[in-house]
Structure 1
Amino acid sequence: MWSPRTGTWMWRAALCCMLLETCLHSARGLNMCMSGSATSCEECLLIHPSCAWCAQEEFGRGRSLTSRCDFSQNLQKRGCESRFIEFPTSSISILRNRPLSSKGSGSTQYDVVQIMPQKISLSLRPGDQTWFGLQVRQVEDYPVDLYYLMDLSLSMKDDLHTIRNLGTKLAEEMGKLTSNFRLGFGTFVDKNMSPFSYTAPKYQENPCNGYKLFPNCVPTFGFRHILSLTDKVDRFNEEVQKQMVSRNRDAPEGGFDAILQAAVCKEEIGWRKEAYHLLVFATDDVPHLALDGRLGGLVQPHDGRCHLNDKNEYSASTKMDYPSLALLGEKLAENNIFLIFAVTKRLYVIYKNFTALIPGTTVEILDQDSKNVIQLIITAYNNIRSKVELSVWDHPEDISLSFTATCQDGRPLPGLRKCADLMIGDTVSFNVSVEARGCPPRGADHSFTIKPVGFKDRLEVVVDYQCDCGCSRTAQTNSSICSSIGTYNCGTCHCEPGYLGARCECQEGEASSMYLSACREAEGKQICSGRGECSCNQCLCYESEFGKIYGSFCECDDFSCARHKGILCSGHGECHCGECKCHAGYIGDNCNCSMETSSCISGDGRMCHGRGNCVCGRCQCTEPGAFGDTCEKCPTCPDACGTKRECIECRLFNSGRLADNQTCQRLCKDEIITVETLKTDDPGAVLCLYKTDNDCVMKFTYSEHASGTSILTALKEPECGGGTDALTVLLAVVGSILLVGVVLLAVWKLVITVHDRREFARFQSARSRARYEMASNPLYKQPVSTHFVETDFNMYGKSYNGGVH
């Protein structure tokens, strides 16, 4: 917050820093003021903001001219009276400072003030840094103008049916936010020429001719303004009901043509100066971009002007190319219009990238039939009103600006020019550091404007450069002090061409040994450092095609400093006697290191998301696995699942630490997809799960899109099991143990049985192969033996042969 008291404190701080820097240079033995090439008061002031010039006539007699240029305290010690010391400083004057309003009043809002102060004057000395502050507040009940710009290509026919009663419902919802709401309507398709649309004669009146699913369409058109902004919302409904879809040939649409016309045709659309301007762009496909028109032979770039004919149709659709993103951003900002992309889910990432290139734009996901369009607009409006971002217009190239934001938490955020997560009526403040890097050409415009994006309120800054010395107003030409051949100015003589000396007492070319010693920096050194000639006790430095050679002994130049990528002092500093003097906001030997930290601030307000360091305006991630512009992406970081869990809880279930809707929207910008069944086969996704308060398990995956956008895929509902009885669990455990025991016994019995049977079978086999019976004794012999005896005898004439036992 700026006030005269804080402004005084800042000035004192700046003066202390300047004195400290002076002391440091003196301690090192380097006096940049005296070592410079200043031969006049103006040149002295440009060397450094701590340098001063003594305009006293008798001061420095017998010394070199540069001795008049020194630190102010040194000049006084050497006898220069304070009234002769030229030492201008930067200052600030407030020209208009009306207090901030607390609420919109009446139907005309010209008296509403949302930025303070409204006009200031800066008196800047080059190189001298100064500060000023400003406050911004979004007042309650501010008028709102909303223009609904709809894609009427064939694929949007379901959406057209859905919004037929949009006006009444939207007015009811917006009436809760503002008492002064107006609504307008416009449509677009594409350029009615090949190859963007069907141009055959049979398609001229009906592009859907022969299309069985939807045979009737209106002729193709670029942009058509239907209804100017009005508070009679019934007229919106009437006009929407009259509309019919059309048809184009290729997938991209001519929406950017329509956006530009809606922005620049202020009188036709009816934009009010004292209202918020919302432009809702509803489509289900990608837009044509600049240079696409060359496919149809359109080589003329868009001129950024309004081209509506008497039928309120875009008349230059087939004459000029599609507008560029830069032109769109310029015209939207110029007319204080907030653009809301209402697009289908598959286009979210594409249009999200557009928002980074077009300031003041947001993107919301539109359902396939636009049934959520009212909630989408309310959400986008609340999101717009919850942040304040400063923009700079007509910024002079020789002025360096750096911002420090102080938002609701009261913590200064260096390098940041925006605040988010605000409530309507909150006041935020910004401190702006200003430094003039040089003196502009005379007659140049010395002013610029600071304004919050989308606001009509602005701060006008008028700049006056302290490049001239007061003593120069009393300069005397052909002064007797200068031998009547020179101009006496600020204590020194500026001689006519051909004359030299402190009093123009010598002519060029006069040289003698008595002069040569005064042209050496030290004994043994070259005369004039080998880069000049000694004439009349002074060094006349040679001219160089590389730059300027200067100094009492031609020892300095403005081209021998360090370079970065071939650019002297990286283009962010001035070369002074072999050393880069960096502009505000840059450091380093070659001034290539930016001290701007705004690009390192992550969405949660932390520097590099707490996973790295901001070096030269860019985050250097130190956490393994972290990447991204602000080290915000780190699927493998220990806290990745924990951080995303909070977003899952607040976005899907409105619970957790970030349950506040505005905080959730500010910190959780990842796309969240809900599914019935979670697939975990994606190798690039990290599976996260956690236990909810009611002992359910929530699962989700975290992955990075090719464009750098984080994607969370989560279950619609946590997985919850039914409650279990302790006795049932105990019986189940005991039964399981008994069952296992019985099974083990059965297996053991089976094994034993099989083993016994195998052994018995082996025994039987062995017994069957034995040579004796089980009942016989191999040692026992029968007592009776039988022997056969053969006999041969005759009886009755017959012969017998027999045996006897």
Structure 2
Amino acid sequence: MSGSSTSCEECLLIHPSCAWCAQEDFGRSRTLTSRCDLSQNLLKRGCDPQFIENPRSGTSVLKSEPLSSKDSGPTQYSVIQIQPQKISLSLRPGDQTSFEVQVRPVEDYPVDLYYLMDLSLSMKDDLDTIRNLGTKLAEEMKKLTSNFRLGFGSFVDKNMSPFSYTAPKYHENPCNGYKLFPKCVPSFGFRHLLSLTDKVDRFNEEVQKQMVSRNRDAPEGGFDAILQAAVCNKRIGWRKEAYHLLVFATDDVPHLALDGKLGGLVHPHDGMCHLNDNNEYSASTKMDYPSLALLGEKLAENNIFLIFAVAKRHYVIYKNFTALIPGTTVEILDQDSKNIIQLIVNAYNNIRSKVELTVWDHPEDLNLAFTATCQDGQPLPGLRKCADLKIGDTVSFNVTVEARSCPAPGTQRSFTIKPVGFKDLLEVSVDYSCSCKCTTHTRANSSRCSSVGTYSCGTCHCEPGYLGARCECQEGDTASSYMSACREAEGKQVCSGRGECSCNQCLCYESEFGKIYGSFCECDDFSCARHKGILCSGHGECNCGECKCHAGYIGDNCNCSTETSTCVSDDGQICSGRGSCVCGRCQCTEPGAFGDTCEKCPTCPDACGTKRECIECRLFNSGRLADNQTCQRMCKDEIITVDTLKLDDPDSVLCLYKTENDCVMKFTYTEHANGQSILTALQEPECASAPDALTVLLAVVGSILLVGIILLAAWKLVITIHDRREFARFQSARSRARYEMASNPLYKQPISTHFVETIFDMPSKSYNGVVH
């Protein structure tokens, strides 16, 4: 590896492995050798080790006191939970250095807990529940720490419209007219009621005095209260050597930054403490609500763990807040706060079971990478957090630091690493190795430079008018020939800075990277674009700074394959006909198209509709594209006109549409593997011929007659069926009649029959006769 730099400082910036030889007679052989190269190469070429400039990145531990443990019996003044406490880094741009950070949460660490309660009207039953909270909470917390203090504050909302009731009748009692709770105190932003104390009875006394208030809208002004509780250190009484817990109890959502504009508050929150002599928030009606970013910053500055104790219906909202405010947890609060003690204990145990590192004042020109090693001993790259820890567990983090550039000379950099919520921190100071020690021996007008140049680190920097490795050439009569021989153009470096001018010609330096060549040393075979560290992606040759790609590859670094198989969609088209294949990946050009092969496009028109516009503008100079004069730009497909369409090709799609003249235009399109479509269209649309008038008339008359005959036959059929039914009904009735002509009781036969008995007086015979 060798570089083309002309000074030691430039060499150090080329690559973290580059070294500079400051030896005066180095590289004066017949073949020029660059002073900027790998250390081992410089040694091989005869550079004395004492003249090699190759600063390395490193770490120096300035303060590293041992971690505290349970057995060491730590006091509030001797507890150490992070090691080391102070280090110094020496960074060379592009080079990396790393160091270890260990963290051990100790047992029986002091705890300060400030209880911040919503005293809006909906929290009245919760207020009744916590009236003896202090005593019960102290008993539970003593199981976790022997040094516990408790404080108390409350909030409602800004006492101004539209957040609270401001009519005169509500000034003294916002609940005026509200039958369920006839008496309330006036609305307020935040009140600090009890500084942190170990006398928990004082907490109970303060809670007993409190009364609820009433605001107008659903959201509360809790974020104002959180910020004041965090930044008003002296009033609240936060101890430096203690865990700081801020419990935020509410049953509704908070107002956020910019909500204050509804009441005319245009000034953003300044992040300062604004408690007056009565321990009330005095800027409630002067500044907007604080932002989440400001809350996170102030909570972290003061090492405060925020515990959201909220109603179940708002759990998701506050859970989202925890992602934006480091060191924050959220727990579900029962309707009347009856689970508040267990909630606080659970949240405290959850906080103590996690260690998360944060970085403060991070310089922009530094890259930091973390690798966590938690209790299982497995390194976890990219993580700066360990969870599920027990008190006394030790976790470690490897921190790798890299400088991307060099700041201005004399610039100091530093940053701080600290676990979230801990007072302990690691201070890191940074020095940059951007200069060479040999520059301390710089000599102006040195005899080594013909007394007309400055000698520094083995090279001469000539005065204006003088040129050459030892400033041995003077501009003047020979200036034009010298310039034309050793400089590519006016203002360019001599021999492109990668060689020396001797005898009016450039002698190029050797390079471990490859070959430097050209009349002005302007070309090489190693300065081409790379992909993943590989010159020309391994698919081309470097020729004078440009990649000459092998067949099948294109691009500045030859990393773009011309293969299109990965772009073929399920229907066999390139990018579903909605894009182009670039470097083996689809770039969708159709608005609304997406997917690996642009196969998804809810808003795309169908292919026939898209191709139709090209048919109209290309063949008939009509349609939307013709009006916009974009036909040639938008329609690149090949169009073939035929007299008759062939529909036997299974890869072609038949499309048709109706023209303005009520004609039908038909065409087919075929998608090829290269992404181009071929359209085959009829030369002219198919238009139906006009019908003969006489034929139409006869057809109409015949149709009318036919319909009339059909209707008449139907009528006759209906009448016939009806008559037959009536006659059948008559016959049936006749057969069922009760009488006929022969049996009519009113009818008498014209002949009657009588029987007459007659007796003839005959001696031996009598005779009966019948007379009719």
Q: TM-score, normalised by structure 2?
A: 0.64
Segments of 5+ residues of structure 1 without an aligned counterpart are 1-30, 522-526, 540-549, 564-576, 580-587, 592-795
**CA shift at 1:126, angstroms?**
1.2
Q: Is the 8 A contact 2:22 2:53 kept in 1?
A: yes
**CA shift at 1:221, angstroms?**
0.4
Q: What SS does the corresponding residue of 2:113 show, helix, strand or coil? A: strand
User: Which residue of structure 2 aligns with residue 43 of structure 1?
Assistant: 10
Q: How does 1:97-246 map to 2 (within 5 A)?
A: 97-103=64-70, 109-246=76-213
Q: Deviations over 1:673-719 (max 9, x none)?
A: xxxxxxxxxxxxxxxxxxxxxxxxxxxxxxxxxxxxxxxxxxxxxxx
**CA shift at 1:63, angstroms?**
7.7
Q: Which amino acid aligns with 1:345?
A: K
Q: Which amino acid aligns with 1:407?
A: C
Q: Which amino acid aligns with 1:353?
A: N
Q: How does 1:208-607 map to 2 (within 5 A)?
A: 208-507=175-474, 510=478, 537=505, 553=521
**CA shift at 1:532, angstroms?**
14
Task: State the structure with more CA Rg.
Answer: 2
* In 1, Cα distance between equivalents of 2:65 and 2:519: 51
* In 2, Cα distance between equivalents of 1:194 and 1:446: 48
Going from structure 1 to structure 2, the CA distance change for 1:520 and 1:338 (only over 3 Å counts) comes to same
Going from structure 1 to structure 2, the CA distance change for 1:561 and 1:276 (only over 3 Å counts) comes to farther
Q: Which amino acid aligns with 1:119?
A: K
Q: Which amino acid aligns with 1:354?
A: F
**CA shift at 1:497, angstroms?**
3.3
* In 2, Cα distance between equivalents of 1:98 and 1:590: 54
Going from structure 1 to structure 2, the CA distance change for 1:150 and 1:40 (only over 3 Å counts) comes to same
* In 1, Cα distance between equivalents of 2:32 and 2:221: 68
Q: What SS does the corresponding residue of 1:357 show, helix, strand or coil? A: coil
Going from structure 1 to structure 2, the CA distance change for 1:498 and 1:190 (only over 3 Å counts) comes to farther
Q: Which amino acid aligns with 1:315?
A: S
Q: What SS does the corresponding residue of 1:468 show, helix, strand or coil? A: coil
* In 2, Cα distance between equivalents of 1:326 and 1:345: 25
Q: Deviations over 1:35-63 (max 9, x none)?
A: xx411001101111110000000111268
Q: Is the 8 A contact 1:366 1:372 kept in 2?
A: yes
**CA shift at 1:464, angstroms?**
1.2
**CA shift at 1:798, angstroms?**
13
Identity %: 78
Q: Is the 8 A contact 1:107 1:180 kept in 2?
A: no
Q: What SS does the corresponding residue of 2:34 show, helix, strand or coil? A: helix
Q: Which amino acid aligns with 2:95?
A: D
Q: Is the 8 A contact 2:412 2:431 kept in 1?
A: no
Going from structure 1 to structure 2, the CA distance change for 1:443 and 1:221 (only over 3 Å counts) comes to farther
Q: What SS does the corresponding residue of 2:285 show, helix, strand or coil? A: coil
Q: What SS does the corresponding residue of 1:160 show, helix, strand or coil? A: helix
Q: Is the 8 A contact 2:13 2:93 kept in 1?
A: yes
* In 1, Cα distance between equivalents of 2:558 and 2:128: 62
**CA shift at 1:496, angstroms?**
2.3
* In 1, Cα distance between equivalents of 2:468 and 2:154: 78
Q: What SS does the corresponding residue of 1:67 show, helix, strand or coil? A: coil
Q: Deviations over 1:280-323 (max 9, x none)?
A: 00000000000111111111110000000000000000000100
Q: Deviations over 1:208-265 (max 9, x none)?
A: 1111111111011000000000000000000001000001101110000000000000
Q: Which amino acid aligns with 2:149?
A: R
Q: Is the 8 A contact 1:108 1:274 kept in 2?
A: no
Q: What SS does the corresponding residue of 1:413 show, helix, strand or coil? A: strand
Q: Which amino acid aligns with 2:472?
A: E
Q: Is the 8 A contact 2:68 2:74 kept in 1?
A: no
* In 2, Cα distance between equivalents of 1:397 and 1:114: 28
Q: Which amino acid aligns with 1:298?
A: L
**CA shift at 1:482, angstroms?**
1.2
* In 2, Cα distance between equivalents of 1:343 and 1:66: 73
Q: Which amino acid aligns with 2:179?
A: K
**CA shift at 1:498, angstroms?**
3.9
Going from structure 1 to structure 2, the CA distance change for 1:210 and 1:466 (only over 3 Å counts) comes to same
* In 1, Cα distance between equivalents of 2:335 and 2:530: 58
Q: Is the 8 A contact 1:532 1:554 kept in 2?
A: no
Going from structure 1 to structure 2, the CA distance change for 1:468 and 1:255 (only over 3 Å counts) comes to same
Q: Is the 8 A contact 1:89 1:125 kept in 2?
A: yes
> Alpha carbon RMSD of aligned pairs, Å?
3.6
* In 2, Cα distance between equivalents of 1:282 and 1:66: 74
Q: Is the 8 A contact 2:468 2:500 kept in 1?
A: no
**CA shift at 1:134, angstroms?**
1.2
**CA shift at 1:554, angstroms?**
5.0
**CA shift at 1:538, angstroms?**
6.4
* In 2, Cα distance between equivalents of 1:206 and 1:169: 33
* In 1, Cα distance between equivalents of 2:520 and 2:94: 23
* In 1, Cα distance between equivalents of 2:277 and 2:479: 83
**CA shift at 1:500, angstroms?**
2.5
| Greater CA drift, 54-63 or 377-386 | 54-63
Q: Which amino acid aligns with 2:150?
A: L
Q: TM-score, normalised by structure 1?
A: 0.61
* In 1, Cα distance between equivalents of 2:472 and 2:766: 199
**CA shift at 1:80, angstroms?**
0.6
Q: Is the 8 A contact 2:21 2:47 kept in 1?
A: yes
* In 1, Cα distance between equivalents of 2:292 and 2:193: 25
Going from structure 1 to structure 2, the CA distance change for 1:106 and 1:143 (only over 3 Å counts) comes to farther
Q: Is the 8 A contact 2:353 2:390 kept in 1?
A: yes
* In 1, Cα distance between equivalents of 2:529 and 2:271: 44
**CA shift at 1:93, angstroms?**
1.2
Q: Is the 8 A contact 1:104 1:141 kept in 2?
A: no
User: Which residue of structure 2 aligns with residue 729 of structure 1?
Assistant: none
Going from structure 1 to structure 2, the CA distance change for 1:552 and 1:353 (only over 3 Å counts) comes to farther
Going from structure 1 to structure 2, the CA distance change for 1:212 and 1:390 (only over 3 Å counts) comes to same
Going from structure 1 to structure 2, the CA distance change for 1:63 and 1:246 (only over 3 Å counts) comes to farther
User: Which residue of structure 2 aligns with residue 616 of structure 1?
Assistant: none
User: Which residue of structure 1 aligns with residue 45 of structure 2?
Assistant: 78
Going from structure 1 to structure 2, the CA distance change for 1:209 and 1:105 (only over 3 Å counts) comes to farther
* In 1, Cα distance between equivalents of 2:469 and 2:32: 8
Q: Which amino acid aligns with 1:46?
A: L
* In 2, Cα distance between equivalents of 1:436 and 1:551: 37
Q: What SS does the corresponding residue of 1:236 show, helix, strand or coil? A: helix
* In 2, Cα distance between equivalents of 1:336 and 1:369: 30
User: Which residue of structure 1 aligns with residue 642 of structure 2?
Assistant: none
**CA shift at 1:578, angstroms?**
8.8
**CA shift at 1:518, angstroms?**
5.7
